[in-house]
Amino acid sequence: MAIGLLLVPFAGFSGYLIRLLAMIFFWIGKAGCWNIISGYTGYIDFGAVGYYGIGSYVTAILMSKGHVPFLVSILISGVVSALIALPIGLPTLRLRGAYFGIATLAFAEAMKQIFLEFDKTVGVNFFEGPHGITLPIGPKNEFFYYIGLVVMVAVVGITYWIKRSKFGYALRAIHEAEHAAELSGVDTLRAKIKAYMISAFFLGLIGGVEAYWLTYITPHMVFDVVITIQMVVMSLLGGIGTVFGPVVGASFLTIIYELLHRDFPYTYTIIVGFIVVMVVLLMPKGILGTLQTKRVAQKGRLTQ
Amino acid sequence: MAILEGRNLTKYFGALAAVNSVDFSVENGEILGMIGPNGAGKSTLFNVIMGVYKPDKGEVVLKGETISGLKPHKICRMGIAKTSQIVQPFTQMTVLENVLVGGLHGKNLSFSNATREAEEILEFVGLGGLKGMASGSITVPDRRRLELARAIATGAEIILLDENMAGLNPTEIEEVLKLLREIRKQGKTLIVVEHIMRAVMGISDRIIVLNYGEKIADGTPAEVANNEKVIEAYLGQKVCFV
């Protein structure tokens, strides 16, 4: 499987397929980032796109105005996003439930407004407001295919590592009963902030890569709340809080979108909505989560 | 020397003094009972000790060091753990994993050491056979034992038990009391909040009584049981019929 994915660009597949696979990799990355904070801790982040957008702009500005190399730019994107996540996370991660969701949503919308209005307000030409920024023309799709593959493996790998680490136990304990976790010696605020910053780092990095891929970004594109919603839906579909849930969910949804978009260009969103509702109703823990529960139940019956 | 001391502890909720100028001390290895009518401030005092609430006045001193103002996880790592009145297991985790959290974070052990200790502790509290079960699917008495196991796993020298026997039948209570005596034998100090008088009178070396946030008595179970103020708090004032 792994070698197969490495060789895809050499197998003579169409450019379309390579582009589609790269898209899937980036969606897995984004949904995986959301899953690290929200899947593990249960703090539902509706502002994830904020870090994606910040990352997009950092890379766009560095590459178009500073002529900084791509790889350096995307790393700086990740670092800047993570650093912004610290002062945002410190107050918001003390909020519970819907309040955290609303606060993060407000953060992402505020960022969009800042990027839209900053230049006009201050009187400079830096973020270029609603006109957006054009990046240097990037290499071919194969390049982004490999970058996407690396990013996806990194996000999934870190999710897997977290699950098996002390840190992961802290996050799961926070998810189940935060007060009891704190009383059991878990530094709950620190663990939440750490997860939030890791999530923001990779979102920023992915934002940077995708900005270079798109070659043109505006605040409306990269701070679009629909991107956050996609991450949420993909994670929920695949199985929230599982390592491979976002992989399954993002692949499933992206492929469904592509297939339906081709055959039903006007009605595909209705069909996708129907499929999502059915999956949520029939598999409330997501595709992977439900399969895992079934397996555990079977094992339980066998041992009895 | 007292291992844990409360000095002039006061905690207000609005204008209400839930805990009012309470002094107490616990000796190393002692079992201290804490009783009082509903709303007397027992749980609040526990939360003040654990750092869940910051006292408005006074201080909590652990082995000569002031700990009030620190966060609960810090206080836990310094050696105080609490079991909650309302059991809060990490329901999606197995019984073993629940106890692991205490060892990994409260005691900062490696995975292999924490696992070994967690298994020993589960055997000790009598949950050895359930370690692979999801903690959400075990019975209430077992959940109470699990809370206790998690508290022990944090390596705490002092364990605060907030109504750990509520809802248990007399046989189950006997078992818990036996377990608590075993824990004390290992050198731990226990503070027990309990409504079941027979249990708390039987196990405590010393008892303090709270009423309306104030300490009204402090002494051996026998002394406390015969204290005028205590009888008054529980049964009301004696009425004199001439």
Domains and CATH numbers, chain B: 1-70+193-237 (3.40.50.300)
How many domains does the structure of chain A reveal?
A: 1
Q: Under a CB-based contact definition with an 8 Å cutoff, are residues A265 and A253 in contact?
A: no
Helices (H), chain A: 2-7, 15-34, 40-41, 48-65, 70-92, 97-122, 141-164, 166-183, 188-214, 219-222, 225-238, 245-263, 268-282, 286-303
Most confident of A51-55, A283-287, B39-43, B141-145: A51-55
Q: A67-76 pLDDT, tens per residue?
A: 999 999 999 9
Contacts of B77 in chain A (CB under 8 A): 185
Q: What CATH number is given to the structural domain containing A214? A: 1.10.3470
Q: A35-56 pLDDT, tens per residue?
A: 999 999 999 999 999 999 999 9
Give the per-residue pLDDT at B196.
Answer: 86
The domain of A50 spans 2-303
Contacts of B108 in chain A (CB under 8 A): 185
β-bridge mates for residue B57, sequence order: B10
> What does the mean pLDDT of chain A come to?
92
- How distant is the alpha carbon of residue A31 from its chain centre? 4
Q: A216-270 pLDDT, tens per residue?
A: 999 999 999 999 999 999 999 999 999 999 999 999 999 998 888 888 888 888 8
What is the average per-residue pLDDT within B70-77?
96
Contacts of B153 in chain A (CB under 8 A): 184
What is the average per-residue pLDDT within A258-285?
86
pLDDT of B230 above 70: yes
Nearest to A183 among B82, B104, B111 (CB): B82
Give the per-residue pLDDT at B242.
Answer: 53
* Residues in B 88-127 with any Cβ partner in A closer than 8 A: 88-93, 97, 100-102, 104-108, 111
Q: Under a CB-based contact definition with an 8 Å cutoff, are residues A54 and A111 in contact?
A: yes
| Encoded tokens for B178 | 């036996």
Nearest to A172 among B90, B107, B153 (CB): B90
CB contact (8 A) between residue A173 and residue B100: no
Please give the model's pTM, rounded to 2 decimal places. 0.91
Q: B231-240 pLDDT, tens per residue?
A: 888 877 666 6
Nearest to B101 among A173, A179, A187 (CB): A173
